[in-house]
Amino acid sequence: MKRLFFYLFCFVIALSADAQNSPVLVAGNIKTVNIEKQKITFQTDHAYGEITIFSPSIIRVRLDKKILGNDFSYAVVMPPQQTKCSIKQDDKKITILTDSLSTTISKKPFAITFYTLDGKVINEDEKGLQHSWVAEEATAYKHMQEAERFIGLGEKTGNLDRRGNGYTNWNYDAFGYSTGQDPLYSSIPFYIGIHHGLNYGIFLDNTYQTDFNFGASNNRFSSFSAQGGELNYYFIYHKKLADIIGSYTTLTGRMKMPPLWSLGYQQNRYSYYPETEVMRIAQTLREKKIPADGITLDIHYMDQYKLFTWDKTRFGDPLAMNKKLNAMGLRTTVIVDPGIKVEKGYDAYEDGVKKGVFVKYPDSSDFTAQVWPGWCHFPDFTAVKGRDWWKEKISFFSNTGVDGIWNDMNEIASWGQKMPSNIIFNYDGALASHKQAHNVYGMQMARASFEGAIAATHKRPFNLTRAGYAGLQRYTAIWTGDNRSEEDHMLLGVRLMSSLGVSGVAFTGMDIGGFTGNPSVSLYARWIQIGAFNPYFRNHTAVNTKSSEPWSYGEEVTEISRNYINLRYHLLPYLYATFNEAVNKGLPVVRSLAIDYTFEPKVYNTQFQNQFLFGQAFLVAPFESTKDFGNIYFPQGRWYNLYNDEQEQGDTEKIIRLNLHKLPVFVKESSIVPMQSLVQTTAEKPTDTLVIHIYKGELNNSFNYYEDDGESYNYEKGDFYKRNIIYDAVKKQIVFDKVEGSFKSKFTKLKVVFHGFTAIDKINAGKTLKDDFLSFLNPISRFDPQGTASPIEGCKVKSVILENISTRFEIKY
């Protein structure tokens, strides 16, 4: 008997030794548990863990092979919400129940399964793998469900459905990237899984390099891992995918209303200089009646590429120039890079050294690398001191009449693209190596620029970034970097914006026409049409390329460009209200069809994956400019051709003939689309009539029309104009609800335009309106009542003009 106990003891010791010596360290069994309100802390054989109920729909999981450290995040801004829940345990498991989901934590071994309230598995750890470490890399393995799809991860190339692929988050200066290159400039470690009529989100909040595997080189699991730090992830479950995005943006914050001018057309180039060239571009835009709101200056505006300077030879009086541009209704955006040139006598360098704001080596010397100005130091934007220094310096631009800041090269980019790992960052007092701070650096630079511009002007700034991390939407718009003038890059840009939208970023754009190379005439024409439906409408091209203004490609393309830019300006009331939806609900402007049609398989078909919704109403179907025909998938419902009101039934495919003059665009049934008269700039006031287009349908719908002053944050104090417009297909009525907010609308009349209706019986506004308030027009030019050139043909519809209507009223049909 003693001998048997001896052998058993030796066997247990051997197992323990094997576990310690194994190259893979597994979390093991739960040994101790402590439950306190909404938090469970526990210890396993080889790890320490914590599970927190963040809300009825959000469960947070933390796990590390050492005692959990400081709970700090650059991404998460929402604290745990007081939640009605039940937590129970027995010898085998711990069970968490909220009014949205059920979570089971098995103890032997530690593993998590998330269920619907009726017992369906939403997501579960892969049995036998669960959670483990290889050296410092921590990985969570999830069972890959049958036919499971994966979308999201922000700025990632490839297909909409990411199954079968792996991805890395490490912000990278990807000049002229290929359509399959990974990683790119920004890192958003958030994805959505879809299977069996269910969808869920997982956000891995870890700023080290993170890697995601959705069945790449394996048929067993999906996984996510971090090269350092703890496994710290948030599991989100809702029945609707849109609500998952809503919860994710509640966690990581939502954007504020952008300045209205930033939604207008922006003319960019690397580079416009000297001042005479800038003014030539501005004057040509106005002479050719191409609406525009901005001109962007690249690095050649600076004195030898030194930040916080102007080249006095090229721009003798930048403030006077910017005032002239403002008088023309144009705002100036300038590029800023983080590299501060090492040069005696250069104010920013001298002041930065004196105040100790630059990132450093372990021996306390300032890190130096080469960028455009030569050898540079780099402000530590992860330090309060560094951000405050930058915020003070950024006032230089507002003092010279600049309205927009374009944060570039902030991955951090430097020649050689190999920053040492041993650089020390403050990381808001926690101290971190480059490995931990790299992915968050660009976001913190954008944050400092955003906060500095607000402090200097007390107005909404336009802020743009190339690099970022989860939560970047709180501070900045983002564009997709140095793309190529190629057909597949145009379509890739659409998918990148769709994926960024799924990942919580609503204000996105791409370089129209492509940054590197020279687009063909047809490619440029198609690209600018698509650009009219981009949240950030930016035309841009590189140095040593052909000029890429709309008039550079001949009269036909000039007319196409003008038509679609005109359409963009007609649509500004719709677009501005859609941005307000992003502010309030987190929904993007460019919406993958997966958001509204999650479980329609054809949405993920590669031939249809480039289609997107522009807000809630418009279905945009981009195709290469070289194609004569295109196959379009119409999701469930009924769809109106934007140009002639012809109707298409949903859940069908249709091959259409493509026309270079018209981008395929359709309007969803029951849609409500507010539009205005044509203006050449948002600084110009439209006519006093707001045109509301209503498309007959069998679906109930509503649209929150929204206005404010377009430049301040007074809307946060109630100074806005909001009106819910309701389309009730059952009662056959359209309700204009009462106005909310203290802001006075710029419009005093409503023109209601009906599409697909055969008759209008009566109009009520509490009481029947007098006949002199009504005007029927048939036919009309729908999108431009003044008859200015437009891509939209006239069609036979009825419209009603309603004067000075401010109270609630109904239209019966």
Residue count of the chain: 813
Regarding whether 680 and 727 lie in a shared domain, the answer is yes
Query: Is 27 in a helix, a strand, or coil?
Result: coil
More confident residue, 803 or 471: 471
Does residue 371 or residue 791 have the better pLDDT?
371
Look at residue 8 in the predicted model and tell me its pLDDT: 42
Packed helices 384-393 and 434-457: angle between N→C axes, nearest 10 degrees: 40
CATH number assigned to the domain comprising residue 229: 2.60.40.1760
- CA–CA separation, 576 vs 572, rounded Å? 6
Q: Is 467 within a domain? A: no
What's the domain range around 728? 672-812
CA distances from 454 to 45, 380, 449 (A): 50, 20, 9
Q: What is the mean pLDDT of residues 183-212?
A: 98
Measured CA to CA, the distance from residue 453 to residue 459 in angstroms comes to 8
Task: Give the distance between the most distant pair of CA atoms in the chain.
Answer: 107
Whether 628 and 722 map to the same domain: the answer is no
What tens digit of pLDDT does each residue of 211-236 get? 999 999 999 999 999 999 999 999 99
DSSP letter at 302 equals S
In this prediction, residue 778 has a pLDDT band, given cuts at 50, 70 and 90, of: very low
Do residue 621 and residue 708 come from a single domain?
Answer: no
Flag whether 390 is in a domain: no
SS3 assignment, position 236: strand
Which residues lie below 8 Å from residue 303, measured CB to CB, with a gap of 6+? 309, 310, 311, 312
Catalogue the E-assigned strands of 403-496: 404-407, 424-425, 432-433, 462-465, 468-469, 477-479
Question: What tens digit of pLDDT does each residue of 234-256 get?
Answer: 999 999 999 999 999 999 999 99
Q: What is the pLDDT of residue 624?
A: 98
Flag whether 217 is in a domain: yes
Using CA atoms, how far apart are residues 471 and 456, in angstroms rounded to an integer? Answer: 23
> Checking DSSP bridges between strand 121-124 and strand 131-134, what pairing results, if any?
unpaired
Please state, for a pLDDT cut of 70, what percent of the chain lies above it: 92
Q: pLDDT by residue (tens digit) across 496-539?
A: 999 999 999 999 999 999 999 999 999 999 999 999 999 999 99
First to last CA, the chain: 92
Residue 229: left if φ>0, alpha if ψ -120 to 50, beta else—which one?
left
Cβ atoms 521, 550 nearer than 8 A: no
Tell me whether strands 231-237 and 58-64 are parallel, antiparallel or unpaired. Answer: antiparallel
pLDDT confidence tier of residue 804, bands split at 50, 70 and 90: low
DSSP state of 258: P
pLDDT in tens, 344-363: 999 999 999 999 999 999 99
How many CB atoms are located within 10 Å of the residue 125 CB? Answer: 22
Q: Do 63 and 172 lie in a common domain?
A: yes
The model's pLDDT over 377-411, given as tens digits with 9 standing for 90+, comes to: 999 999 999 999 999 999 999 999 999 999 999 99
Same domain, 651 and 683: no
With 90 as the cut, is the pLDDT of residue 259 above it? yes
Tens-place pLDDT, residues 403-448: 999 999 999 999 999 999 999 999 999 999 999 999 999 999 999 9
Question: Please, which pLDDT band fits residue 798 given cuts at 50, 70 and 90?
Answer: low
Q: What is the mean pLDDT of residues 289-318?
A: 98
**Mean predicted confidence (pLDDT) in 610-635:** 98
622's CB contacts (< 8 A; 6+ apart) are: 490, 491, 494, 526, 530, 610, 611, 663
**For the chain, percent of residues with pLDDT exceeding 90:** 90
Please indicate, yes or no, if residue 493 is contained in any of the structural domains. Answer: no
The rounded distance, in Å, linking the Cα atoms of 648 and 642 is 11
- As a whole number of angstroms, the distance between CA 199 and CA 205 comes to 20
**Higher-confidence position of 331 and 11:** 331
Q: How confident is the model at residue 11 (pLDDT cuts 50, 70, 90)?
A: very low
pLDDT value of position 813: 82
- Same-domain check for residues 162 and 52: yes
**Whole-angstrom Cα distance, residue 146 to residue 198?**
12
Q: Where residue 774 falls among pLDDT bands split at 50, 70, 90?
A: very low
What tokens were used for 273? 């200089």
Q: Which whole-number Å values give the CA distances from 811 to 694, 725, 745, 759, 770, in the listed order?
A: 11, 11, 21, 12, 14
**Tokens representing residue 523 in the block:** 């490619």
- 58 and 158 share one domain: yes
Please check whether residues 693 and 793 belong to one and the same domain.
Answer: yes
Strand partners, 194: 149, 199
Same domain, 152 and 222: yes
Domain boundary among 635, 663, 691: 663
Range with the lowest mean pLDDT among 11-25, 55-69, 649-663, 679-693? 11-25
pLDDT bin (cut points 50, 70, 90) of residue 761 is low
| β-pair partners for 673 | 693
Greater pLDDT, 327 or 791: 327
248 inside domain: no
Give the per-residue pLDDT at 242: 98
pLDDT computed for residue 790 by the predictor:
36
Which residue type does 534 have? N
User: Nearest Cα to 207, choosing from 414, 427, 53?
Assistant: 427
For residue 762, pLDDT over 60 is answered with no
Identify the burial level of 805 via C-beta atoms within 10 angstroms of its C-beta, where 0-12 means exposed, 13-18 middle and 19 or more buried: middle
- Give pLDDT, residue 771: 36
Which residue among 237, 266, 285 closes a domain?
Answer: 237
Residue 553 near residue 525 (C-beta atoms within 8 A): yes
> How many Å apart are CA 188 and CA 192, to the nearest integer?
12
Amino acid at the residue 431: L
Virtual torsion, Cα 714, 717, 723, 724, nearest 10 deg: 130
Task: From residue 411, give the alpha-carbon distance in Å to each of 269, 407, 473, 584, 740.
Answer: 21, 10, 17, 29, 42
Residues 751 and 716 in one domain: yes
Examine residue 641 and state whether it is found in any structural domain, yes or no.
yes
Q: How far apart are CA 284 and CA 392, in angstroms?
A: 36
User: 542: Cβ–Cβ under 8 A, 6 or more apart, which residues?
Assistant: 270, 482, 515, 516
For residue range 157-171, what is the model confidence (pLDDT) as tens digits?
Answer: 999 999 999 999 999
In a domain, 735, yes or no: yes
pLDDT of 783: 38
On whether both 710 and 766 belong to a single domain, the answer is: yes
Under the banding of pLDDT at 50, 70 and 90, the label for residue 772 is very low
The rounded distance, in Å, linking the Cα atoms of 609 and 621 is 9
Domains of the chain: total: 3
Residues 627 and 752 both lie in one domain: no
CATH number of the domain encompassing residue 647: 2.60.40.1180
Within a domain: 614? yes
Would you state the pLDDT for residue 805?
Answer: 66
Cα torsion angle, 217, 220, 221, 225, sign: negative
Question: Checking DSSP bridges between strand 767-768 and strand 762-765, what pairing results, if any?
Answer: antiparallel
pLDDT above 70 (res 792):
no
Instruction: Look up the pTM and report it.
Output: 0.94
Note the pLDDT of residue 799: 64
By annotation, the residues acting in catalysis are 408, 411, 482
Mean pLDDT for 633-652 is: 97
Residue ending a domain, choose from 663, 692, 720: 663
Q: What is the pLDDT of residue 16?
A: 45
The pLDDT value recorded for residue 668 is: 98
Whether the predicted pLDDT of 784 surpasses 60? no
26 pLDDT more than 70? yes
